[in-house]
Amino acid sequence: MLQLSGQDASFVYLETPHTPMHIGSVGIYDPSTAPGGFVRFKDILAFIASRLGSARSFRQRLVRVPFDLDHPYWIEDPEFDIEFHVRHIALPRPGDWRQLCIQVARLHARPMDLSKPLWEFTIVEGLDNIAGLPPGCFALVSKVHHAAIDGMSGVEMSAAVHDLDATMTPPKAQEEWRPEHMPNVADLLVRSYFNSLTQPMRIMETIGRSLPGMAKLTAQVGKGDVSIRNARPAPKTRFNGKVSAHRVFDAVPLPLADVRAIKDAVPGATVNDVILAIVGGGLRSYLASKDDLPKETLTAMAPISVRGEGEKAALGNLVSAMVVGLGTQIEDPLERLRFVHDETVNSKALTNAVGARTLTDYSQLIPSGLAGLAARLYTRVGAANAHAPVFNCVVTNVPGSRVPLYFCGAKMVAMYGTGPVFDGMGLINPIYSYGDTIAISFTSDRNMMPDPENYAAALRASFEALKAATLDKAPAAATKAVAKKATQPAAPKTVVAAKSRAKAPIKPTPAAKKPAAAGRKPAPQQKEAK
């Protein structure tokens, strides 16, 4: 029986009927690579059952302490039933992208059963009319509670059900799984008593670790090396109030090569900086269309994984965060990218001064009963509408596989992400990269964003504007540099390469481009997987 950390448990306390705290993904697969050219639902059940031992999250459930006197515990669920966790539905005709987005949003809006292992897979068939995809594809919509998993450990869980080829090689022999008995109330109360005795020592230890970092931060601020501007309150927007029980979802795939080329326009910039600048441009355009664009920059919370090499397969959530300005007050896309880069450098310096791991440890010091009561009270009184937000949205980047992945023999052709929204923060932008594509997905409250297709269009336009301001202008800038300094012949070659990449057509399709073979008939998946 393993106890949750304070940070893991906080996601349990934040859970309400209107704010389910799970993350997820939407993988789309082409079954033509599977044996026989199709995949049946019973094959999927058997495939997942054979991989359950590869990730602890699959068969562990929560046990809460009476009155929340202590943080909950994980046990091996004695009532585990795989058919409860793997479901099967199909889209009605025509089976297009908008129908899939609506169905994903509905699935994501439903809270999970906290008395079961905290994950669900839903197979969605009937994806027959999505541009860029062959008919007969299916989607795997996953939901995993944030208390059990973060973005990086989510990659490990995803690896358990994916292969590098279509042969479906059986996993290595693993230890026999043994369920645990449900703990009795007396045992839980005794454990909470002894944990409370050691709490003062943990508090002193965490404070002691943070003091050197605070001294270092004070010195850096005094020298002007670091600014505390990131601590400013965020402006109020439509996304920063009390959320409803309804969600919207959409995604915008972008060529990873172009994003990487754009970052070279600003020395030291990263792919993450480019994505943040694109999101900033998209939010600027979308909010301006609603007459809701603040004069100050919007800010985003960007999670930082503090998971060490030896903790990748561990259960739970090991993340800290930094707050970054998105440059929504800046019209010029290149200037916005420079602004975002400066913001991320400064925010990382603030986080590193104290230590991301130390900041995470502070969450474990919050009394469990008080945390649960505070979360419920905050939601009940609508406190999110009464104060300035700490940040306006979340942008979380999860690197994916660069090589093709296969699920039950079917090749993955696209991957998108979903995430939780809650009172005070009604927009999250999960970023997933897969192969040569990086996708900006988003989940929002339906009342706050009734037109997700317009925000998706704004993100595409923001990318195109940033691309035009960097890649398309690079040759002229390089020509001037060469004229001034003839000792740099490599610069024009680099620029020409960037220009050739910029000429590649960008099709605003919501899925990875994969042309269907001529004369190919839809795989008989819908008939077989009843």
Q: Which residues are catalytic?
A: 146
Question: Cα separation of 382 and 427, whole Å?
Answer: 17
* 137-145 sheet: strands from edge to edge: 86-90, 119-127, 137-145, 22-30, 410-418, 406-407
What are the CA-CA distances from residue 388 to residues 43, 75, 197, 293, 477 (Å)?
A: 51, 40, 37, 15, 42
Using the Cα atoms of residue 468, residue 469, residue 471 and residue 476 in order, give the sign of their dihedral: positive
Location of structure tokens 């990449």: 501
Pairing of strands 299-305, 393-398: parallel
* Strand-by-strand arrangement of the 427-434 sheet: 247-255, 437-445, 427-434, 393-398, 299-305, 319-325
**How many Cβ atoms from other residues are within 10 Å of residue 514's Cβ?**
14
In the three-class reduction of DSSP (H, G, I as helix; E, B as strand; rest coil), residue 395 is classed as strand
Helices (H), 74-150: 82-85, 97-109
Q: How far is CA 461 from CA 244, 255, 467, 498, in A?
A: 29, 14, 10, 20
What lies within 8 Å, CB to CB, of 464 at 6+ separation is 506
Helix (H, G, I), strand (E, B) or coil at 482: helix
> Residue 392 in contact with residue 427, Cβ under 8 Å?
yes
Look-up of token digits 């610069």: 491
Rounded Cα gap, residues 77 and 180, in angstroms: 6
